[in-house]
Amino acid sequence: MLATSRASTWRRFLASSAMASSIGLALLACAGHVSTASAATATAASDAIRPFKIHVSEAQLTDLHKRIAATRWPDKETVSDASQGVQLAQVQALVKYWGNGYDWRKAEAKLNALPEFITTIDGVDIQFIHVRSRNPNAMPLILTHGWPGSQFEFLKTIGPLTDPVAYGGKVEDSFDVVIPSIPGHGFSGKPTELGWGPDRVAKAWDVLMKRLGYSHYVSQGGDHGSVISDALGRLGPPGLLGIHLNMPATVPPELVKPIFGGDPAPQGLTDPERKAFNSLSTFFGRNAAYGAMMVTRPQTIGYLLADSPSGTAAWMYEKFAAWTDSDGHPERVLSRDEMLDDISLYWLTNSGASSSRFYWENNNNNFSATAQKTTDIKVPVAITVFPHEIYQAPKTWAQRAYPSLSYYSEVNKGGHFAAWEQPQLFSEELRSAFRPLRGSANATANTTDAKTGQ
């Protein structure tokens, strides 16, 4: 345990937040006359939705295997559990398989079998998967990943969401699915200027959905995806029908300081509230150092993540172990190949630093209702509580945080990576959560943009 004074200082450090300033794009005046036709052509080109295929060079894969083989390992932890971090034997087993058994080409083929596209929004390329249901009345849905997740989190939900009949559902519960990579993650572009926080990403997501021809849609997210969906809800653009969250921001304002300070749970809390209080107190006191590093020094951690595949694997695997509903053994719910698909994506796109910068931009308390301005959200909000999420949001807190709460459900299995761990259950929750909104969706004609044919 940390000494009391050190723990208090650490908690105060984690609690502090600063808003990053946003720098607008400068428009350069050029000599000469730019015709209206030329300007229109340039705009059309920048708005274009282009087909996208992934092919990582063989040289990159060879380099990866050489680096894995040359790993210098630290000495073994001096405890019998994960209290000092992910254990040496677990990481060594994973990395050994990464170097000698895992095949990235299978992951690449899995992604390339889906309709993939890329488009430029606000100066940054956004890569996304877009799968339309065969049901012409399907509800458009945008799914947003978090860290250390990616598009891979949602692949097993595409079938149940777009073709529910094949998975025990009803045709009227169909979704068209759009799965973008957050800027700085995966094959999306890496921002080169400040300001790409949740609000700006939310605005980009609305542009994306409208560019695809959707006049209405719903949004779902966990981790960063929850924060971005909250931002979309606050933005409330025309056509956004509602949002679904599996990591909602429900902590009441009077409890934020006691949680960060490591205080005992105050009197008067219900059992679910006390459990949530204690879970978050433990998280911020013992398990949030990774976030403090990424929030304050994303460039520094980026050097490790850009240079060492074994370091990248350990950095990410620790969260799979801690946050899945697996009792610390993520292989019980995710295969080694699934985890390495995700780890390899971060490594091969060299997005350790750029993905960490999203934490720097989002220097805020993602669990605080006040920090996330949840009462500003007017669209219907749905919440599903998974039992091994970082904390289980009590219904009382959810109702207070989100006045427009329209759906609240507690399920019996799944963790932080809900869609990845329990794709069928996750899909069933989305069907139930958004079913009441389909009437308003059908009242607005849904169109398809001729630019994409999607």
Q: Which CATH number covers residue 242?
A: 3.40.50.1820
Residue 113: strand, helix, or coil: coil
Catalytic residue among 199, 223, 230, 342: 223
Residue corresponding to tokens 């345990």: 1
Q: Is residue 281 part of a domain?
A: no
How deeply is 209 buried, as exposed, middle or buried, from its count of CB atoms within 10 A (0-12, 13-18, 19+)?
buried
Q: Closest Cα to residue 244, out of 220, 224, 209, 228?
A: 220
Provide the whole-model pTM.
0.89
Q: Is residue 169 part of a domain?
A: yes
Catalytic residue among 217, 317, 359, 402: 359
Q: Taking each helix axis as running N to C, give the angle between helix 298-307 and helix 289-296, from 0 to 180 degrees, rounded to the nearest 10.
A: 110
pLDDT of residue 18: 35
Q: Is residue 30 part of a domain?
A: no
Q: Closest Cα to residue 281, out of 239, 240, 251?
A: 251
Q: Is residue 18 part of a domain?
A: no
CB atoms within 10 A of CB 412: 9
Q: Is residue 334 part of a domain?
A: yes
Q: How far is the C-alpha of 280 from the C-alpha of 275, rounded, in Å? A: 9
pLDDT of residue 46: 73
CB atoms within 10 A of CB 87: 20
Q: How far is the C-alpha of 438 from the C-alpha of 428, rounded, in Å? A: 15
Does the active-site annotation cover 224? Answer: no
pLDDT of residue 43: 57
What is the span of the domain harbouring residue 91? 87-251+288-442
Q: Closest Cα to residue 255, out of 118, 146, 371?
A: 371
Distance from the Cα of residue 146 to its chain's centroid: 2
Q: Letter for the amino acid at 9?
A: T
Q: Is residue 5 part of a domain?
A: no
Q: How far is the C-alpha of 140 from the C-alpha of 151, rounded, in Å? A: 17
Farthest CA pair distance, the chain: 72
Which residues, other chains included, contact 124 with Cβ-Cβ below 8 Å and sequence gap of 6+? 183, 188, 189, 190, 191, 196, 204
Counted domains in the chain? 1
CA dihedral sign, ordered 357, 362, 364, 367: negative
Q: Is residue 238 part of a domain?
A: yes
Does the active-site annotation cover 317? Answer: no
Does the active-site annotation cover 223? Answer: yes
3-state secondary structure 389-447: CCCCCCHHHHHHHCCCEEEEEECCCCECCHHHHCHHHHHHHHHHHHHHHHHHHHCCCCC
Mean pLDDT per 10-residue section of the chain, whose length is 454 residues: 37 39 32 42 74 98 98 98 95 98 98 98 98 97 98 98 97 98 98 98 98 98 98 98 98 97 96 98 94 96 98 98 97 98 98 98 94 98 98 98 98 98 98 93 47 43
CB atoms within 10 A of CB 41: 11
pLDDT of residue 364: 87
Distance from the Cα of residue 195 to its chain's centroid: 18
Which tokens in the block code for residue 392? 């289980």
Q: Is residue 270 part of a domain?
A: no
CA dihedral sign, ordered 163, 167, 169, 175: negative
H helices, E strands: number in the chain: 19, 9
Instruction: Answer yes or no: are the C-beta atoms of 144 and 224 closer than 8 Å.
Output: yes
CB atoms within 10 A of CB 84: 11
